[in-house]
Structure 1
């Protein structure tokens, strides 16, 4: 099954952002795989943008764990926030599996629930933020 770059980018993002315990519950048993790069912990520089869209600046460092695996002909990669080596390995294995014949079954069993839960979390967060929103308006300007 051929995957586009954006499709793969989407599932890699979902796997990296998923809570490690939830990912382990949805996909508990890892198939045999070859470690190309064992899970290793490091740091990356996080960049911000002035005003969200302006010039870049270094915000600070973030701890990440990365891993690369091979399953048959497919190579899977993962880079997750934090120091959880099992999360990185599981995400890399799933990345490799999602490139093969089991992609649709795994999408239904793992990715769809993760994406639905992430959307629900974003909705709750947006509702909480919306409740604190203040709107300002002017009844009459003093220019008359």
Structure 2
């Protein structure tokens, strides 16, 4: 039985990428970038921010049988802009404002303001996330030990 995810369109993959970026972004940094944006449009809650738990599942070696790894706290919400676009926000932890800002960006990315928002919010977040990843990789790489066998010339 094939458990591989279905193919995503380019638009679906782009949305998946920005939702992932928003979920992982530091809440304070997302708030600071959103504060620089023009006024937030009117919206209605489809699902007010709520906190709950999700079960994390894993696979041994990435291909084995799935198993329950543990639980994680998640906050989610959904909103609809007055123009009709729907945004969703899912973030780790209990920060309802972070979920709200993520949902707002998701909704706004579906409007004519997407290009400006990508440049002002998503690109700085992506740049900072990559810089953090490289810093961690360099720090981990500095501790790498290279084991090898050296011939000592003895018979």
Deviates more, 1:70-79 or 1:29-38: 29-38
Q: CA deviation at 1:52?
A: 4.2
2:55 to 26, 45, 51: 45
Q: CA deviation at 1:18?
A: 0.5
Q: Distance in 2 between matches of 1:35 and 1:49?
A: 36
1:132 to 130, 143, 149: 143
2:65 to 55, 60, 74: 55
Q: Distance in 1 between matches of 2:125 and 2:112?
A: 20
- Superposed, 1:29-40 pairs within 5 Å as 30-40=40-50
Deviates more, 1:51-60 or 1:38-47: 51-60
**1:66 and 2:76 equivalent?**
yes
Q: 1:123 to 1:63 in 2, by over 3 A?
A: same
Q: Distance in 1 between matches of 2:14 and 2:118?
A: 11
Q: CA deviation at 1:6?
A: 0.1
Q: CA deviation at 1:49?
A: 2.2
1:89 to 72, 79, 100: 100
Structure-2-length-normalised TM-score: 0.85
Structure possessing the higher relative contact order (Cα contacts under 8 Å, 6 or more residues apart):
1
Q: Distance in 1 between matches of 2:65 and 2:149?
A: 33
RMSD in angstroms over aligned alpha carbons?
1.5
Give the count of matched residue pairs.
139
Q: Which runs of 4+ in 1 moved over 6 A?
A: none
Aligned partner of 1:25 in structure 2 is 32
Secondary structure, in 3 states, of the residue corresponding to 2:64?
coil
Q: Given that residues 30 and 90 in structure 1 are in contact (C-alpha distance below 8 angstroms), is that contact kept between their aligned partners in structure 2?
A: no
Unaligned runs of 5+ in 2: 1-9
Unaligned runs of 5+ in 1: none
Q: 1:55 to 1:135 in 2, by over 3 A?
A: farther
Residue deviations 1:46-69, cap 9 Å, x none?
112213443322110000000000
